[in-house]
């Protein structure tokens, strides 16, 4: 049955930012489709939805598979009659010095973090154009604004997402569709534990081994002072409910400071600062 309420679709809802965002949207009146590659991980969000009587529907959706995306979006449109907000959140971090990354590892990173966004967005656009309304909220990162050692694969997917989103915003605004980038800093989630360390980077004889060890220690320290995941969810809600949202929203004091420093400094000054901060 078509929904009379606004409908949201969130990818990667089994944990972290996606999990909290799906709950936040549902708590604020959105009929929320919490999508995930593996629905067996839906027990927690389903339990919370049941206890709080939240309008959450779990759907299987693997952003790396054309058919999975197409089927899921078709089912949602058939059931709800509309899609008002899409939150492209599914993603993971591949870490390792560039020389230690295999081409297959890099391709897999892009399939989820970048091409996954493309698949889902292209699948929902016909519905949003027909409605002449909608919001596409892409979860980028502070890493979409600046690079760091050991993050070339992950960072480059976020830089690509930034360019894609900014370009799309021009094309879609005439149809009443707004594009939003949410750029979190370091967030206390299970993201780091879900990071994939490149195979060659696991070799203690890698010429980059000491650098990666220092980066790992730095990341652990940053996470201790990271922002709560509900900060990102609240910013997504703000963008989703704003008739005229900004193109970019920073999420976290750390990323605000980094972006401001990069704006004020020369490239060489900023790189030297990053070297000191990253150990």
* pLDDT for res 3: 59
Angle between helices 115-131 and 152-172 (to 10 degrees): 20
* pLDDT for res 215: 87
* pLDDT for res 209: 94
Phi-psi region of 21 (alpha: psi -120 to 50; beta: other; left: phi over 0): alpha
Q: Which is the catalytic residue, given 33, 59, 135, 140?
A: 140
Residue whose tokens read 């016909």? 126
Residue 14 falls in the annotated catalytic set: yes
Q: Which is the catalytic residue, given 33, 148, 154, 249?
A: 154
* pLDDT for res 193: 62
Residue 158 falls in the annotated catalytic set: yes
Note whether residue 188 is domain-resident: yes
To the question of pTM greater than 0.75 for the whole model, the response is yes
Note whether residue 245 is domain-resident: yes
* pLDDT for res 41: 96
Q: Which is the catalytic residue, given 14, 15, 141, 152?
A: 14
Note whether residue 2 is domain-resident: no
Note whether residue 261 is domain-resident: yes
Note whether residue 166 is domain-resident: yes
- For CA atoms 98, 196, 117, 30, the dihedral sign is negative
Note whether residue 153 is domain-resident: yes
Note whether residue 155 is domain-resident: yes
Note whether residue 1 is domain-resident: no
CA-wise closest residue to 229 among 251, 200, 198, 203: 251
Q: Which is the catalytic residue, given 59, 158, 165, 208?
A: 158
Question: 182 and 236 in contact (C-beta within 8 Å)?
Answer: yes
* pLDDT for res 220: 81
Domain containing residue 171: CATH number: 3.40.50.720
Residue 208 falls in the annotated catalytic set: no
- Please report which helix (H) or strand (E) contains residue 95, including its range: strand 94-95
Its domain, for residue 214, covers 7-277
Angle between helices 43-52 and 16-27 (to 10 degrees): 20
Number of folded domains that form the chain: 1
Low-confidence ranges of the chain (pLDDT < 70): 1-3, 189-194, 279
Residue 154 falls in the annotated catalytic set: yes
């Amino acid at each position: 049955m078509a929904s009379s309420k606004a409908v949201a679709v969130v990818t990667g809802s089994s944990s972290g930012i996606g999990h909290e965002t799906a709950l936040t949207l549902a708590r604020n009146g959105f009929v929320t489709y919490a999508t995930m590659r593996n629905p067996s991980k839906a027990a927690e969000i389903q339990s919370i939805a049941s206890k709080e009587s939240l309008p959450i529907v779990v759907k299987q959706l693997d952003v790396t598979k054309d058919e999975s995306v197409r089927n899921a979006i078709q089912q949602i449109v058939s059931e709800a009659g509309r899609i008002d907000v899409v939150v492209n959140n599914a993603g993971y971090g591949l870490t390792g010095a560039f020389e230690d990354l295999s081409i297959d590892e890099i391709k897999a990173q892009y399939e989820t973090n970048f091409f996954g966004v493309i698949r889902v967005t292209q699948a929902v656009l016909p519905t949003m154009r027909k409605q002449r309304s909608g919001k596409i909220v892409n979860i980028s990162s502070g890493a979409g604004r600046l690079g760091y050692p050991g993050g070339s694969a992950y960072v480059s997917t976020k830089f690509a997402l930034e360019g894609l989103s900014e370009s799309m915003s021009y094309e879609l605004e005439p149809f009443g569709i707004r594009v939003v980038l949410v750029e979190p800093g370091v967030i206390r989630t299970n993201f780091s534990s879900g990071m994939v360390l490149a195979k060659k980077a696991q070799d203690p004889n890698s010429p980059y081994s000491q650098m990666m060890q220092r980066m790992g220690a730095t990341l652990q320290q940053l996470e201790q002072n990271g922002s709560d995941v509900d900060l990102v969810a609240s910013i997504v809600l703000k963008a989703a409910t704003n008739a005229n949202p900004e193109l970019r929203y920073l999420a976290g004091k750390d990323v605000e400071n980094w972006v401001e420093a990069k704006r004020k400094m020369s490239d060489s000054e900023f790189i030297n600062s990053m070297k000191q901060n990253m150990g």
